Amino acid sequence: MSKNIEFKSAVETSRKWDGESVAVELSSKIKNKLLNPNFILLFSTIHYENEFNKLLEKLNNFFPNVPIVGGTVPGFMNQDGCYTRGVTSLSIDSSAIDISVGIGHNTKNNPKKSALECTNMIKKNFTESNYSNKLLFILTSGTLVPSLLGTGVKRVYKSKIPISMISKLLKTSYKVSKKGVGREDIIFNEISNQMPDYSIIGGSSIDDNKLEKNYQFFNNEVFTNSVICLGINTNINLKLESQVAVEKTDKYFDVKLAGEKYIINKLDNKPATKTFFKHLNWPDSLMDERLHRRTFFYPILFEKENEIFPEVIGGLIGNNIVCGFDIKSDKLCIGRSSREILINSLNKSLNNISKSGIPNCGIIIYCSALLETLGRDFFKVQEILKKFFKDSPFLLIATGGEDFKIPEKIEKHSNETINMAAFLK
Amino acid sequence: MIMSDPIASVLDDLLKLDDILACMVARQNMISVMPTDGTDSFKPEINKIWDIIHRAMDDVFTVIREYSQAGLSEMEFRLQDYDALFFVFPDTENALVSIIPAMANKGLLEVEMENARRDILKFMN
């Protein structure tokens, strides 16, 4: 970084319970370090659901001309610690960045339109920006598990339901209850098409992995079923890195999809659920609401343009496997994940970043499935990151799906990945 | 000596999480620290199973007593629809114990249990 470029960043945490106290604590900590933050990225766990309005209003009062964007996440990590209950912020104060923010609504019902709405806002404020390094941070409302048959929110339906009925129920769910898969891949694809010279990093906003609700923040307002973007144009060097925390096995299946492209109807021309369970030697008794905690370790993978796209299995409807986003291949592989694979992927990312320079500040997007599987060992990840970043601030947020793109490469919405963006010294 | 009030506050915070049905600092045959309102602050659904879980906990503490000095840091068991998690305080026979639903997202709860354990350790020392 040039000596003339001023760059300061702050990552702060609050563990207070009420929204106003959180805002007071965060703003005091930010103002201690930054004179004029360009923006505030704000992330909260779902426990503050009834406090978001007060929190944002108060924070906005402290920073009236500073864009505030963010949303709910299941957990986060920074220099202060690891948390699955709390509120965190990341802000930067630099003369060498231009900022723009955008929001799009109604993501599940109209994903492309919401992406356009968001990117149009971003572009409007960037007409006079001349900086060459471009980064977009996006946070999209994630999957909300619907109650398909009026029997409560479930991920596993053992009874056989015709595919045509499943498709109808899911489409109805988008319109009636605004619930269903997040459609983040469609949104990301559109954002990527609209902003082709931007590097993009981000993920899906969810709750505490129950996938029952999620919220997005835009200045002093709280939304749901929205996508928010923070655009950064700068001449500060950026380094982006992406790793999958999954290994391929040598077992491939021919896949037949149902009406929706995220539902697998057949594997090798046989009923998908039965074939998947048989391959893993799992008894039918494992077909219960704890299924997703086991399938974290055995994601489904497809490949496209030399990239691996892991998908966590979201649920089962009879003999159909429901995933989180569209499958773009007619061949699938069963992957394998473990703590060791995860830590190795993280170290690989950090090595690659260190080859480019010393980070001044970093944001890391980390799959919530990995957080759930690590549990207490999440603190081991923090030890690795603290050692790497030393005194420089970093913020890791867990998300329900991850988005990553560098220009001229395929955009990637997937699961079980670790993605980083570092501002370099 | 364990100072009760600040540790009770840590337990009160933990109990605010929906899926923490009960929590305490305990050792064999003894609950060292309860949340501020004692068992009244436990989630009501735990009442029907509390007696049997309490007895099972005591049996687990036999193992913790035996192996804590050798580095045993964590134990857990499932009883009916509930999991009991034990995070052992190093070189002691005490553990932070939480009861959670078996269907809960355990990984996320473990992070907050670890935060509680670290906070309690500061008060113990």
Shortest CB distance from B108 goes to which of A75, A81, A289? A75
Task: Give A247's pLDDT tier (boundaries 50, 70, 90).
Answer: very high
Task: Output DSSP code: residue B68.
Answer: G
Task: Give the model's pLDDT for residue B124.
Answer: 87
Exposed e or buried b for every residue in A161-188, given b needs 16+ CB within 10 A? bebeebeebbeebbeeebbbbbbbbbbb
Chain B contacts of A85, Cβ < 8 Å? 17, 112
Closest to B114 (Cβ–Cβ): which among A17, A290, A376?
Answer: A376
Confidence class of residue A269 from pLDDT cuts 50, 70 and 90?
very high
Interchain contact, A81 vs B115, CB within 8 Å: yes
d(CA A377, CA A379): 5
Q: Look at strands A133-141 and A199-205 and give their pairing.
A: parallel
Please, what is the average pLDDT of chain A?
A: 92
Interface contact A374, partner B, CB < 8 A: yes
pLDDT tops 90 at residue A339:
no
pLDDT tens digits for range B63-77: 999 999 999 999 999
- Name the percent of chain B lying above pLDDT 90: 89
Residue found under tokens 């209850």:
A177
Cβ count near A3 (within 10 Å): 5
Interchain pair A209, B108: CB under 8 A: yes
- Chain A 32-71, residues with CB within 8 Å of chain B CB atoms: 47
- Name the residue of chain A whose CA is nearest to B74's CA: A376
For chain A, percent of residues with pLDDT exceeding 90: 75
**A18 lies within 8 A of chain B by CB:** no
Q: Which are the contacts of B51, defined by CB distance < 8 A and separation ≥ 6?
A: none
Subunit contact B106:A208, Cβ cutoff 8 A: no
- For B112, the closest of A85, A209, A374 (CB atoms) is A85
- Which residue type does B117 have? R
A residues 115-154 lying closer than 8 A (beta carbon) to B: none
Chain B CB within 8 Å of residue A210 CB: yes
Structure tokens at A103: 């929001």
* A363/A202 Cα distance (integer angstroms): 10
Contact B107 A374 (CB under 8 A): yes
Task: Please answer yes or no on whether B102 and A290 come within 8 Å at the CB atom.
Answer: yes
Which of the residues B9, B18, B73, B105 would you substitute to probe the A interface, choosing the one with the greatest number of A C-beta atoms within 10 Å?
A: B105
pLDDT at res. A176: 80
Alpha-carbon span A83 to A105, nearest angstrom? 29
pLDDT digits (tens, 9 = 90+) for A16-62: 999 999 999 999 999 999 999 999 999 999 999 999 999 999 999 99
Task: Report yes or no: B6 and B112 within 8 Å, Cβ to Cβ.
Answer: no
Inter-chain CB proximity A372 and B113 less than 8 Å: no
Nearest Cα neighbor of A367 from A306, A302, A312 is A312
Coarse DSSP helix, strand, coil percentages of chain A, rounded to the nearest 5 percent: 30, 35, 35
Nearest CA among A40, A325, A368, A326 for reference residue A214: A368
The order of strands in the sheet holding A412-414 is A97-105, A226-234, A133-141, A199-205, A402-405, A412-414
> Cα separation of A73 and A395, whole Å?
12
Starting at the edge strand found earlier in the chain, the sheet holding A417-424 runs: A81-83, A76-78, A394-399, A359-367, A417-424, A238-244
Question: Is A371 an interface residue toward B (CB < 8 Å)?
Answer: yes
DSSP string, A36-63: S-SEEEEEE-GGGGGGHHHHHHHHHHHS
pLDDT at B75: 96
**What is the token pair recorded at A116?**
């356009």
**Number of neighbouring beta carbons within 10 Å of residue A160:** 11
Mean pLDDT over residues B32-48, rounded? 94
Given a cut of 60, whether residue B1 has pLDDT beyond it is no
Residue A212 touches partner B, C-beta closer than 8 Å: no
Beta carbons of A133 and A237 less than 8 angstroms apart? yes
Q: Which of A74-78, A296-300, B27-31, B54-58 has the highest mean pLDDT?
A: A74-78
pLDDT, position A106: 95
Q: What percent of chain B has pLDDT over 70?
A: 97
Q: Which residues pair with A230 in a beta bridge?
A: A101, A137
Chain A residue numbers touching B115 (CB-CB < 8 A)? 81-83
- Closest-CA residue to B50 (of A396, A382, B41): B41
Q: Report CB contact under 8 Å: B106, A375.
A: yes
Please tell me the distance from the alpha carbon of residue B31 to that of residue B25, in angstroms, as a whole number.
6
Q: For residue B99, what is the enclosing H or E element?
A: strand B95-101
pLDDT for B109 equals: 97
Angle at A140 between CA A139 and CA A146, to 5 degrees: 145
* Cβ separation A372–B106 shorter than 8 A: yes
Place of tokens 């496209």: A304
Share of chain A above pLDDT 70, in %: 98
B105 to A290: CB separation less than 8 angstroms, yes or no: no
Nearest to B108 among A17, A74, A290 (CB): A74
Q: In this predicted structure, what is the pLDDT of residue A403?
A: 98
First to last CA, chain B: 9
- Tally A–B CB contacts below 8 A: 54
pLDDT band per the 50, 70, 90 thresholds, residue A226: very high
Average pLDDT over residues B22-42: 94
What is the C-alpha to C-alpha distance for residues A64 and A48, in angstroms, rounded to an integer? 22
- Inter-chain touch B16–A379, beta carbons under 8 Å: no
Query: Which contacts qualify for B61-64: CB closer than 8 Å, 24 or more apart?
Result: B61/B26, B61/B27, B61/B28, B61/B29, B61/B93, B61/B95, B62/B28, B64/B27, B64/B28, B64/B88, B64/B93, B64/B95
Residue A198: which of A302, A102, A65, A89 has the closest Cα?
A102
Grouping H, G, I as helix, E, B as strand and the rest as coil, residue A125 is: coil
Contacts with A345 (C-beta within 8 Å, 6 or more apart), sequence order = A243, A244, A245, A418
* Candidates B96, B111, B112, B113, partner chain A, best to mutate (most A CBs within 10 A): B111
What tens digit of pLDDT does each residue of A112-166 get? Answer: 999 999 999 999 988 778 899 999 999 999 999 887 766 677 778 777 777 777 7
3-state secondary structure of A318: coil
Q: Is residue A2 over pLDDT 70?
A: no
| Pairwise CB contact (< 8 Å): B108 & A372 | yes
pLDDT digits (tens, 9 = 90+) for A78-111: 999 999 999 999 999 999 999 999 999 999 999 9
Residue A233 DSSP one-character state: E
What is the predicted pLDDT for the residue at A409? 86
Q: Enumerate domains of chain B plus CATH numbers.
A: 4-124 (3.30.450.30)
